[in-house]
Amino acid sequence: MAKVEIYSSEHCPYCVMAKQLLDRKGIIYKEIRVDLNPEKRQEMLKKSRQRTVPQIFINN
């Protein structure tokens, strides 16, 4: 099974929709909240070179 990570924030409607889609598809994912942990936002930036959420990574 693929390893899925989603970087998100609580008040982001696109994050909510992305997580709902993953849930409907039965995909297990790890949610990483960048609004609660600024270090994780920097980690996301290094991985994706993007500042916006959601950022979804499948098998890195």
Mean pLDDT within 39-48: 96
Cβ neighbours, 10 Å, residue 34: 23
Q: How far apart are the first and last CA of the chain?
A: 13
Helix (H, G, I), strand (E, B) or coil at 24: helix
* Average pLDDT for 1-18: 96
In this structure, which topology does domain 4-58 adopt according to CATH? Glutaredoxin (3.40.30)
- Where along the chain do its domains lie? 4-58
56: its two tokens: 């979804």
pTM of the model: 0.92
| Average pLDDT score over residue span 35-40 | 95
Tokens matching residue 45: 């930036």
